[in-house]
A = this chain, B = another copy of it.
Amino acid sequence: MPAEYSLAELAEICGAQLRGDARVRVHAVATLEHAGPGSIAFLSNPHYKRFLGSTRASAVILAPGDADACPVPALTVQNPYLAYARVAALLMPVAPARSGQDADARVHPGAKIAGDAWVAPGAVIEEAAVIESGAAVGPNCVVMRAACVGEHTRLVANVTLAERVRIGKRGLIHAGAVIGADGFGIARDGERWVKVPQLGSVIVGDDVEIGANTTIDRGALEDTVIGNGVKLDNQIQIGHNVHIGEHTAIAGCVAIAGSAHIGKRCMIGGAAGIVGHIEIADDVTITAMTLVSRSINEPGVYSGSAPMDRAAQWRKNSVRIRQLDELARRLEHLERKMKD
């Protein structure tokens, strides 16, 4: 059920400067390229500036420096993407959560479900689990014994929360995520492996989003901890006893090994890997597909992915990488020779 706002109202809500007719009303958001009358677009990534001049949006949210090029009314702000996020949430409000327990939900009598929480068909809630006020457990989710879903947190569908896992408030856990499976703890006994019991749990803070099919393992002895405001994309693997600091954002397919401690406000690029038992400082950025193989003590941007090339050229360079130490020695030899 979209709402409708005037530009004057939106400017005030976003703290934006308004250029153009304050009475223009919008009821939808759209891209610059495909917007039509009644919708508001935004310009944030310069890649899309080429669509600004010909946009048919009724208004555009953009940075002050781009306003002169805008053919329609504009809301100018320092961070157009953030202002857009707020406008989009206003114009396209999420449907209010239902409350109650579906007749096809399987709720253990020893679970504690808030009266205004929702448990969907096929969801299984085990003994001593707690579903707090306004929370929603989607279809075919499993909330195991003594796990807790905080206020206004939503498990979308087919999510698994293992025993004693605790999710904070206002969380959003996408389909297929598994929180609290056993960490990968095995001890060698001759040629065999003996399982090390995984006795800790997972504590997820408030305002955390967890992507589809992401997995977060329970701690071995103490807990795996995900700080407030952390945002996790899809298919991330987080090992046992990892700590992730507040407001860190992690892109898809990142693999984090056990007992790594990651700071606050970090940004980890897609498919990066982080080895176990290391520390990453606050405000570190890791680029895509980098293997973080040692602790990082200072903020900054870190990289380490092989460059791409035509395969024929890559094969030649690749052979040379395997000779690199020898090449360097030969260079040193030459340098010494030249000196003499």
Q: A interface vs B, CB < 8 Å?
A: 29-31, 34, 45, 47, 79, 81-82, 84-86, 88-89, 92, 94, 102, 104, 106, 120-122, 124, 126, 138-140, 142, 144, 156-158, 160, 162, 172, 174-176, 178, 181-182, 184-189, 191-197, 199, 207, 209, 211-213, 215, 217, 221-222, 229, 231, 233-235, 237, 239, 246-247, 249, 251-253, 255, 257, 264-265, 270-271, 273, 275, 277, 285, 287-294, 300-325, 327-328, 330-331, 334-335, 337-338
Total copies of this chain within the assembly = 3
Contact B308 A293, beta carbon cutoff 8 Å: yes
Contact A181 B140, beta carbon cutoff 8 Å: no
Contact B156 A158, beta carbon cutoff 8 Å: no
Given contacts A89-B197, A288-B291, contact A303 B315 (CB under 8 A): yes
Which of A277, A303, A313 has the most chain B CB atoms inside 10 A of its CB?
Answer: A303
Q: How far is the CB of A338 from chain B (nearest CB, A)?
A: 6
Given contacts A29-B221, A140-B142, contact A311 B302 (CB under 8 A): yes
Given contacts A292-B308, A317-B325, contact A265 B191 (CB under 8 A): yes
Which of A182, A195, A271, A323 has the most chain B CB atoms inside 10 A of its CB?
Answer: A271
Contact A106 B104, beta carbon cutoff 8 Å: yes
Q: How far is A324 from B309 in the complex, measured between Cα atoms in Å?
A: 12
Q: How far is the CB of A180 from chain B (nearest CB, A)?
A: 8
User: Contacting A318 at CB < 8 Å: which of B222, B288, B307?
Assistant: B307
Contact B309 A322, beta carbon cutoff 8 Å: yes
Residues in B whose Cβ lies below 8 Å from that of A294: 308
Q: How far is A316 from B145 in the complex, measured between Cα atoms in Å?
A: 50
Contact B138 A122, beta carbon cutoff 8 Å: no
Given contacts A85-B195, A306-B305, contact A79 B327 (CB under 8 A): no
Q: How far is A338 from B18 in the complex, measured between Cα atoms in Å?
A: 65
Q: How far is A157 from B162 in the complex, measured between Cα atoms in Å?
A: 9
Q: How far is A81 from B335 in the complex, measured between Cα atoms in Å?
A: 50
A-B contacts besides A140-B158, A257-B288, 5 pairs, CB < 8 Å: A86-B194, A191-B264, A213-B215, A255-B271, A306-B306
Q: How far is A320 from B326 in the complex, measured between Cα atoms in Å?
A: 10
Contact B181 A178, beta carbon cutoff 8 Å: no
User: Contacting A303 at CB < 8 Å: which of B162, B191, B308?
Assistant: B308
Residues in B whose Cβ lies below 8 Å from that of A313: 322, 325
Contact A174 B184, beta carbon cutoff 8 Å: no
Closest to A230 in B: B193
Q: How far is A280 from B82 in the complex, measured between Cα atoms in Å?
A: 29
Closest to A286 in B: B308
Given contacts A142-B140, A291-B306, contact A231 B184 (CB under 8 A): yes
Contact A303 B311, beta carbon cutoff 8 Å: yes
Q: How far is the CB of A187 from chain B (nearest CB, A)?
A: 4
Closest to A122 in B: B124
Q: How far is A240 from B270 in the complex, measured between Cα atoms in Å?
A: 14
Q: How far is A165 from B125 in the complex, measured between Cα atoms in Å?
A: 27
Given contacts A89-B197, A221-B31, contact A291 B293 (CB under 8 A): no
